Structure 1
């Protein structure tokens, strides 16, 4: 099981990876969405926001408005680290039940183009 610090580092790396996506691609495929990531085996929740300029750093404090996130991920700590490091394929993780994404169909199609 990955540690809390390793999960924080993986999410920070994910934010950096989103910053590397071409601005034109982000403009085409990104709409502003709130994101939550539940690390199931550690009992942690991280919250972020996706927008045209990238992905905001994840925080452990929920948004002040109290609304559920538009895109909700559930993943184990080891799988989170492996996914961000490129050792785990997102499609296989989804099909294998290692990652659960709760989002609208449109959001899933947009995210698929970015991941």
Structure 2
């Protein structure tokens, strides 16, 4: 099981990667609140996806978030590291993403 600090760092790594990717693909017209829930650690994080960037990452849940990602700590790290395919993980219910279907399509472009 990964630690809370490892999960937090993985989200910051994802934010840095999205920022680097934005330089080559341009900014997406996408602005949503995001909650990342990690049940095995009984913790959560929240932030904002805006213009193809992940910003304002903080500890704690956002129950009103437009997009919610629910994953175990190990699955979260594997997903962010690119070792876990998001489509297969969702299909196998290894992770859950609660979002509007149109938002899911835009999320795929980001990752």
Using structure 2 for the length normalisation, give the TM-score. Answer: 0.89
CA distance in 1, matches of 2:26, 2:61: 25
| Cα shift readout 1:57-92 (whole Å, capped 9, x = no counterpart) | 4201456xxx61010110000001111111111111
Do the aligned residues in 2 keep the contact of 1:30 with 1:50 (CA within 8 Å)? Answer: no
In the alignment, the residues of structure 1 paired with residue 37 and residue 26 of structure 2 have an alpha-carbon distance, to the nearest angstrom, of 24
Alignment of 1:1-115 (within 5 A): 1-23=1-23, 25-27=25-27, 29-52=28-51, 54-61=53-60, 68-115=64-111
Deviation by residue 1:2-24 (Cα, 9 ceiling, x = unmatched):
01111111111111111122357
Higher relative strand content: 2
Q: TM-score, normalised by structure 1?
A: 0.86
Change beyond 3 A, Cα 1:95–1:110: same
Distance 1:53 1:22 in 2: 7
Q: Retained in 1: the 8 A contact 2:37–2:43?
A: yes
| Greater per-residue helix proportion | 2
Q: Say if 1:31 and 1:50, in contact at 8 Å, map to a contact too.
A: yes
* Alpha-carbon displacement from aligned partner over 1:18-38 (angstroms, at most 9, x marks no partner): 1122357453x4411000000
User: Hey, what's the Cα distance between the residues in 2 that align with 1:70 and 1:26?
Assistant: 23
Contiguous gaps of at least 5 residues in structure 1: none
Q: For the Cα contact (< 8 Å) 2:35–2:67, is it kept in 1?
A: yes
